[in-house]
Amino acid sequence: MDRARKLAREGKSPSTQAGEYVREEIEHIREGKHGATSTKQAIAIGLSKARRAGVRLQAPRKGTTSRATRRRAQRDLQRGRSWSTTSPRRARATLRVLRRKPRSAASHAALARQARASARKRGPVARQTAARKAVRTKGPRKRSQAARKAARTRARASRR
């Protein structure tokens, strides 16, 4: 929460602030606090927590997710504006269910799979824009690292 607040003070976007909550959720799963059915669920829990904590992250647009998910996101946003907590009984029940779920949802491989899948959905233009932004914000050392990695990838692709 502290990191997310710091990002808010710096004027970073709501999605960047929410990313801290997602990161925290991944950490919880890795340290064995609870599990998740899938990487998607782990991310969703983090986003929900962010909205409830007051991060102004908009609910997904119509056509991108189910009606139930959109309504839940709206409710979370509302809760972020007016402060109320989950009843202890309900919180315990949720945690008990999540404890039975596997921990593999937060593995490096699972996260990489999820990132690739979501990048594929966004299409080449969005990927190119992200890459351009990365070039602007990376700095010389990271940029040369990325260039080496890209060269390796291209070499591997040409061998096939």
| pLDDT, mean of residues 150-160 | 88
What is the 3-state secondary structure of 91-117?
A: HHHHHHHHHCCCCHHHCHHHHHHHHHH
pLDDT per residue over 112-146, tens digit each?
Answer: 999 989 988 888 899 889 888 878 888 889 889 98
SS3 12: coil
pLDDT at 95: 93
Give me the residue spans of the domains in the chain: 2-122, 124-160
For the cut 90, the answer to whether the pLDDT of residue 11 exceeds it is no
State the CB neighbour count (10 A cutoff) for residue 51: 26
pTM for the full model?
Answer: 0.75
Higher pLDDT, residue 85 or 40: 40
The answer to whether the CB of 5 falls within 8 A of the CB of 80 is: no
**E strand or H helix at 53, and its extent?**
none
Alpha helices, DSSP H, located in 12-87: 14-30, 39-52, 67-81
pLDDT at 93: 95
For the cut 80, the answer to whether the pLDDT of residue 29 exceeds it is yes
Confidence of residue 63 (pLDDT cuts 50, 70, 90): confident
